[in-house]
Structure 1
Amino acid sequence: MTAQGSALKAPGATLAAIRHQEPLVHNITNFVAMDLAANALLAIGASPLMAHAREEVAEVVALAAALTLNIGTFSPAWVAAAELAAGEARRLGKPWVLDPVGVGATAFRRDNGRRLSALGPTVVRGNASEIRALAGLAGQGIGSAGKGVDASDSVESAAEAADVLARRLDCVVAVTGEVDRVTDGRRIATVANGHAMMTRVTALGCSLTAVTGACLAVQPDAFLATVHALALVGVAGEQAAGQATGPGSLRVAYLDRLYGLSPEELDLAARIEEAVA
């Protein structure tokens, strides 16, 4: 195995770094996701900050180690704040994640996705329908209407869109689904952790975006950071599902497993594979 491949399959090192460094992650996220995203960050050892007032976001970005933007319940004021925050992160050289929730569903979301994706995200994280729709907005001739904020496309169907989008935006693109796929336009990896019950708990995907921000804060290779975030959330989710009797207990168990997972246990449980570009 190459050194790159060895690092790829060692998400425990990134988890250990988060717990050691306790990075501050600034999240401009949606009302539905705030609680779970903040608690997921606390559970893995990071420090969450939820701030979306235009008057303070530039200062908060300067304090934080990473930024995440989730367009799920944006209003025009939040869009302005998100654009300001993304521009400041770019100016300061800080990593940021775009989560284009339901980007193909309405004209307002399409416009938000188009404008924010033009500001140089480090990572774009979405389901297959969202990635296909965002690629279409980027002028790639690939699109999907999706189904609200849920995916109606398979991860495989979004592979070409993800590769093209990664090259077009010069970023990492993660397509989440039954088997997650990550690409930076050159490298590709898959992560096969997770459980079907996770789709029954709202905002678990949004918490993944927050966790990705924490991983970016401690791992300078955005491709590795994104793969490790997917593995961490996937392993925690599948282990939680083994203890849960339904979505309510899964949510609680998910946070407990994020908190309780050791780096060594994560490495053993992660199902990460390099793929051929």
Structure 2
Amino acid sequence: MKTAFLYAGQGSQHKGMGEDLYRDFEEFREVIDGADASFDIKQMCFEDPDGKLSKTKYTQPCMVAFASGVTAILNKNGKKPDYLAGLSLGEYSALQAAGVWDSKKAISLAAFRGEAMTKAAEGVEAGMTAVMGLSEEALQKCVDEAKSEGVVSICNDNCPGQIVIGGEKKAVEKAAEIAKENGAKRCIPLNVSGPFHTKFMSAAGDALKDYFNDIEFSEEKIPVVFNVSGKEKGETETTQELLVKQVQSGVKMTQTIEYLLDKGVRRFVEIGPGKALTGFVKKTAKEKEISDIECITLETSEEVKSYIEK
């Protein structure tokens, strides 16, 4: 059975994440203790003393540190996937797992990305909302109609029936109102600190482009399916270009999962806090009438031990 590791994105972080893994696995401890950040990642993940874990510039390196630690445990125990992918920030963890960077470099990259996105969002009254029950085509019409209120666009195509819109708060709220009038089942505002994956992140993309000039990118040892295209890197594309595009344009998670299913992947292992990605997998597989899938989540020490022993 072909296996894909899927890495969680920003939003699923929580106080205490990784504490049991740090206690039980030397490989996890080595990653956390060796992290290069401007703050104490261990304290932030386990204790969140000042309530800052949900702020982008802290969330991103913490999430990548957590994911890199789990990857180190899996590597030590001979657990390798056929494909890798991640949701937004999770793509950095996927690339680390593919051997493009070591864990220390991936964490420092995530820290820079978090800072750049925070700066790009300054001065913007932002909003992001998950819209349930509309097709992308139908939602795009609602978005177009709401642009009279400001900047709004589709950010994430998570799975069939769940698409995220983002931009200026007034415009996002207007688009959600129009979506409800046009048959959306639910519109759920998201607790975010910026208009991520919209044109407001252009400055963050520019900052990453410059930063990447001094970073070494190794070749992938395991294929990575990228957010911006929903497929593997093309012959004329570079990882640097795809990551710059990723931060300032929409995430194609539905297409990513469809690609993996079409490649014969039937076991999906979600690495990180939460179970959002395996939920997306189940909905996408159901839409494609594929029933023979296995979904596994790896967040706790108990879950990781069970997967290793399986």
| TM-score, structure 1 normalization | 0.28
Structure showing greater radius of gyration is 2
Name whichever structure is richer in helix by fraction.
1
